[in-house]
Structure 1
């Protein structure tokens, strides 16, 4: 098989791009395809070198209209890995952005919030779709988010007035009814929201809870407090994008093909570590569960901590959150187990014990009932998708 030249145009300072590249490299190792690779940033400055090199195909994270226009003029096969530019007719693999927004809505509603905001890019397709999914999820529950916009791609443009941008964001945050949950189009604007709250004296998460997208560990860990974020299937995007490019270089792929891959899960950190419910008894119950879910507790112990009978608490809990106390215990344990499965080498039995399950068997039963798959599959998928 003749070796094919492939240019990889990615901003490797972004965790998303590094994950996609890792997935593309995995596909290449597994497929047996023969590619000669050239790495370069996704800026229009690369076009002279690209034309001189004469690649057979391009795989990129192209969010700049000028670069996209130059690649279209170049005329060779290329595959994009971001739904950013409107009306761009090129094969694209990305996360299911609509599902990202719905996941954000479900998660924040589950925390008991009744006031919501969305902070994102007004014209980038991925931001629009995330906002639409977020709105739809909230509207099903009878809520409508407030909105504020800024041009993050992924940072704000250098020409943006810092003073004006800060004033707009600050005024919006101050006007939100509290407590409120703010969903941001990705982790960079989420960190700016956290910084604005700190400047304004707004407590996170007590007054403003913040949720980002990408689960960029650097961005999430340097944010104060640490940032909750939706993890995306970066490696799987890279694998499927590389496979599409191979087909495109063989002339098999329609120009407008789009593949949307579901998001992975919410990685909860301090920025959403709050249950925004009005009923003080339910708040006491939630605080007790948060502190003791890894222990051998049940409805009886939770009701005692809340100062109510089992029947009273179960009724109030369902009215406030739309689910049972036992389902909340399981949710906390599953979230803790998912984090350990994705980020540690602990054996399944140890994950079960640390997460509060009585045994690996019980954990497997709860995983199958709530997620439809066993812990071992969740571990493999989380690592394959996110790296």
Structure 2
């Protein structure tokens, strides 16, 4: 069969993923991107609710499968499958953990953890720790990230503890948060904590907010996955390592496409590195000497967009307004109001960059008293209007010049 003929032949392909996880969703999106960018004609089978159900998979009358092998049940169900299978999952230090007869596309755990580690060290944090998951077969990828973290700590001769905590469940939730809070309180400060997922990063943030631990002054938090849903649930925006999941999906689809044409890749392993880091407030650590400023900024990060005033910040900190203003001038060289306004402006810029809201909605949700006031702030601080800023951060077209795209953002 020629390559041209193979690319035009329709094949029935099963995708075995649980798309309630952003990791799986983005791999599926990468597969879709490959299909759109080629002449491949695949009839894709996924459950209607995008969950992976294995009952009857051995009777699937198809031509190939791409599957999440981080799930032990999936790996077991596809063992000995007569169909071409491409496995996707975690990287492993022990090569015996990989399936021997299948091609395997892996996220590079060492590079994921190394990127987070380097970011926290670069932020000036003298202590590091990791928040992981309980040991279980389905959490083997988390234990691999632990090993990568321990190796870095050994190389740097650093005491960097790992806390696994409890698995998430409704009955144990309060106990889990209390135990996590106790662990956080016991860590030397300031400390940077790498969470093995964004979901675990959110747990860390919740524990810090419940117990008055300033983020990121005392505890800086970085997750892995860059999950937009998690960001919407966090009062302080969480930094996160961006996995190369789309590339993993495209690579897996490319391999299966070749296998459908007769190629075989038994035991082939491809490690895909992370894309980078989405740096947000949770790791923007600035060493501060005043506990009053740390506490004030912790409050401002959470509530700036709710229209708080300087007096409310001073009440939260427990000092007079004049004293707090003096602490801010000494530490940050700005007023409390200016710090509140900076957070509101950052939030507005992020919303405008997402292109999902009108200017009026942005003004309301970011705590500006009116649309006109937001316009005035943008003019004063960025030398452009909100609309001009939004246009400047649009994805560039091939013909757009970099100078034009940077006109407004250079001022921010």
**TM-score strictly above 0.5:** yes
Tell me if 1:21 matches 2:28: yes
Per-residue deviation, residues 168-197 of structure 1 (Å, max 9, x unmatched): 322211211111110011101101111111
Q: Paired residue for 2:158?
A: 143
- Report if aligned partners of 2:68, 2:74 keep a CA contact under 8 Å in 1: no
Tell me the distance in 1 between the aligned counterparts of 2:218 and 2:192. Answer: 8
Query: CA 1:128 to 1:261, structure 2 compared with 1: closer, same or farther past 3 Å?
Result: same
Aligned equivalent of 1:344, options 394, 397, 404: 394
Q: Paired residue for 1:182?
A: 193
Q: Paired residue for 2:210?
A: 199
Tell me the distance in 2 between the aligned counterparts of 1:203 and 1:59. Answer: 43
Per-residue deviation, residues 145-164 of structure 1 (Å, max 9, x unmatched): 1101147xxxx465883344
- Report if aligned partners of 1:24, 1:235 keep a CA contact under 8 Å in 2: yes
User: Which secondary structure does the structure 2 equivalent of 1:47 belong to?
Assistant: coil
Query: CA 1:265 to 1:160, structure 2 compared with 1: closer, same or farther past 3 Å?
Result: farther
- Paired residues for 1:56-135 under 5 Å: 56-83=63-90, 87-89=97-99, 90-121=102-133, 122=135, 124-135=139-150
User: Which secondary structure does the structure 2 equivalent of 1:79 belong to?
Assistant: strand
Per-residue deviation, residues 263-310 of structure 1 (Å, max 9, x unmatched): 11111111112224789xxx9999679x99xxxxxxxxxxxxxxxxxx
| CA RMSD between the two structures | 3.6
Per-residue deviation, residues 3-46 of structure 1 (Å, max 9, x unmatched): 22100122223332222222112212333233221113453x33
How far 1:239 sits from its partner (Å)?
0.6
Per-residue deviation, residues 192-238 of structure 1 (Å, max 9, x unmatched): 11111122221211211100011111212321211110112222111
- Report if aligned partners of 2:106, 2:248 keep a CA contact under 8 Å in 1: yes
How far 1:137 sits from its partner (Å)?
4.0
Aligned equivalent of 1:228, options 225, 228, 239: 239
Aligned equivalent of 2:248, options 230, 237, 242: 237
Query: CA 1:343 to 1:158, structure 2 compared with 1: closer, same or farther past 3 Å?
Result: farther
Q: TM-score normalised to the size of structure 2?
A: 0.64
Q: TM-score normalised to the size of structure 1?
A: 0.67
- Report if aligned partners of 1:104, 1:134 keep a CA contact under 8 Å in 2: no
How far 1:342 sits from its partner (Å)?
12
- Report if aligned partners of 1:202, 1:208 keep a CA contact under 8 Å in 2: yes
Per-residue deviation, residues 119-146 of structure 1 (Å, max 9, x unmatched): 1134534323333433444554442311
Tell me the distance in 2 between the aligned counterparts of 1:16 and 1:37. Answer: 19
User: Which secondary structure does the structure 2 equivalent of 1:225 belong to?
Assistant: coil
Structure 1, unpaired ranges of 5+: 293-339, 359-387
Query: CA 1:221 to 1:242, structure 2 compared with 1: closer, same or farther past 3 Å?
Result: same
User: Which secondary structure does the structure 1 equivalent of 2:79 belong to?
Assistant: helix
Aligned equivalent of 1:46, options 54, 58, 61: 54
Q: Paired residue for 2:362?
A: none
How far 1:355 sits from its partner (Å)?
4.7
Per-residue deviation, residues 59-78 of structure 1 (Å, max 9, x unmatched): 12343222321121544322
Tell me the distance in 1 between the aligned counterparts of 2:202 and 2:151. Answer: 25
Tell me the distance in 1 between the aligned counterparts of 2:198 and 2:259. Answer: 32
Tell me the distance in 1 between the aligned counterparts of 2:90 and 2:196. Answer: 13
Tell me the distance in 2 between the aligned counterparts of 1:222 and 1:31. Answer: 37
Query: CA 1:181 to 1:33, structure 2 compared with 1: closer, same or farther past 3 Å?
Result: same
Tell me if 1:271 matches 2:286: no
Tell me the distance in 1 between the aligned counterparts of 2:128 and 2:264. Answer: 41
Per-residue deviation, residues 228-263 of structure 1 (Å, max 9, x unmatched): 101122221111011122234445333332211121
Tell me the distance in 2 between the aligned counterparts of 1:175 and 1:259. Answer: 40
User: Which secondary structure does the structure 1 equivalent of 2:125 belong to?
Assistant: coil
Structure having the higher Rg: 2
